[in-house]
Homo-oligomer: A and B are copies of this chain.
Amino acid sequence: MIKKFIIGIDLGGTNLKCSLLDNKLKIRARNSFSTKSFNSKEKLIRGLADSINNFILSSGYDAGAILGVGIGVPGPVDTFKGIVHFLPNIPGWKEVNLKKVLEKKTGLKVFIDNDARLMSLAESKIGAARGFSNVLCLTLGTGVGGGLILNNLLYRGKDNAAGEFGHVPINITGPKCGCGSEACIETYIGNNAIKKSAVSIFGAGISLEKISYLARNNNRKAVKFWNEAGKKLGIALSGAVNLLNLDAVVIGGGVSSAGWPLFEGIKQAIAKRSMSVQGKRVKIYRAKLGVDAGIIGAGYLVKERLGI
């Protein structure tokens, strides 16, 4: 039988998403588990292995049809050795050779990478960043993750740690950040910071979804709320735009669903704060692949490593 399928996995702090992709990276089948239901490192690893194996069984194909497994994880990894350094939002993970363990448990080739880097890869191949050479892709959620496409390739840096736009400071001093620093853009527009600010303006019990709904219906306070968040992000982006002469910035993740008032704020700040040549060049887009970006990126990772 000709090997022609790839398993793409997106391991998030909340959900573990599993997909069967064909060799054009179209999603043929999918499955999802609660990450928290696996409440230890060992259980999560067994859960990953079982879900891969069960997934193959239930899909009707046999393991011989699988080219490899790609996994995106929410933290810093050594993608070439397959080691997860740690996972900020999933306790108990430290220097785990996930590739080796899973290859042993499944008999399949396994490749891992950071989730934001895989999302960037997917958006650059078939999403909003397609056709652009130099792109910063962001996921706005609890954290502000990022990935860079430079000269049409995923830019990793020596430690595969490049793209951490969430930890670019936008003030000399400011709120303490989980990374150990302060005033990082994540401390202003990360989910928790935005929620806190929402409560102080709209009162307890307000949800970000509700504010987005109000903004879509032109509620002035809600529009201003997202606009201000966008402006802060835009100021931080102007630094990256000036430094990297970016062609495009692609923004996804839960917070990006706030829509136009957020994006208007971003664009206004970039127009005001970046240099003329760079500001004129850069386009700001909403991510296109949504929740599937990580899975499709995992598929590209497998193809890239196998050279197919």
A positions within 8 Å CB-CB of B: 76, 85, 133-134, 146, 148, 150-151, 153, 155-165, 167-172, 179-182, 232, 235-236, 238-240, 242-247, 272-278, 281
- A157-B244, A159-B245 given; A168·B239 CB < 8 A: yes
With a CB–CB cut-off of 8 A, which chain B residues contact A275? 161, 164, 167, 179-181
Kindly state the separation between the CA atoms of A90 and B174 in the bound complex, as whole angstroms: 39
Q: Which residues of B contact A76 (CB under 8 A)?
A: 277
Sort A-B residue pairs by CB-CB distance and give the 8 closest, nearest first. Answer: A157-B245, A168-B239, A162-B245, A167-B242, A161-B245, A164-B242, A181-B273, A161-B277
Question: Is there contact, CB below 8 Å, between A85 and B274?
Answer: no
Contacts of A247 in B (CB 8 A): 158
**Min C-beta distance of A26 to chain B, whole Å:** 31
Complex-state Cα separation, A172 to B265, whole angstroms: 14
Complexed CA–CA distance, A274 and B177 (Å): 11
The one of B157, B240, B273, B278 that contacts A134, using a Cβ cutoff of 8 Å:
B157
Q: Which residues of B contact A179 (CB under 8 A)?
A: 275
Chain B nearest CB from A95 CB (Å) reads 12
